[in-house]
Structure 1
Amino acid sequence: MAKQLVVRLRADGTVDAESIGMHGSECLDHIEALEALLDAETVSSSFTDDYTSASTSETTSLDAEQSDGAP
């Protein structure tokens, strides 16, 4: 399976991201890059039961509002 980072931008300015086909903490590198691109930080995250297996996926919510509070 190809590695994917599925990103959803919500109307309230938050971003949901889910990594697919990544192993272990590999997904965290991609979330870190997404945070840098969006000038955002993770406010909550959860790992599936398969986190340590070959079919690991992760869901992370990011606060994508700009630092000045603009939507």
Structure 2
Amino acid sequence: MNPPAQIIVLIRPDGTVSAETKNVTGTACLDYIRLLEDLLGATTTDSSYTEDYTRSAATNIQEARNELGWS
């Protein structure tokens, strides 16, 4: 089974916020940026893709099959 999507948010003492998605593949992570901007009333000043960006849904399906012992 695939791990659930996560958003890790860090709020620094100076009020700046950083966030990182985990277990979100492809461009779906961009939806989380927009969601966080709306929730925080903020604008993104810098972003970069994580390693999960390059993983495909097919990779996730294969990993799930492997975990279940399916070939």
Q: Same fold (TM over 0.5)?
A: yes
Count how many residue pairs are aligned between Structure 1 and Structure 2: 54
Larger relative strand fraction? 1
Distance in structure 2 (CA, Å) of the matches to 1:35 and 1:21: 20
- Choose from 7, 20, 23 the match for 2:22: 20
2:26, 2:52 within 8 Å by CA — same for their partners in 1?
Answer: no
The equivalent residue for 1:40 is 42
Contiguous gaps of at least 5 residues in structure 2: 57-71
Equivalent residue letter for 1:23: T
TM-score when normalising by structure 1: 0.68
TM-score when normalising by structure 2: 0.68
Contiguous gaps of at least 5 residues in structure 1: 55-71
**Percent identity of the aligned residues?**
48
The equivalent residue for 1:29 is 31
Q: Which has the larger radius of gyration?
A: 2
Runs of 4+ displaced beyond 6 Å: none
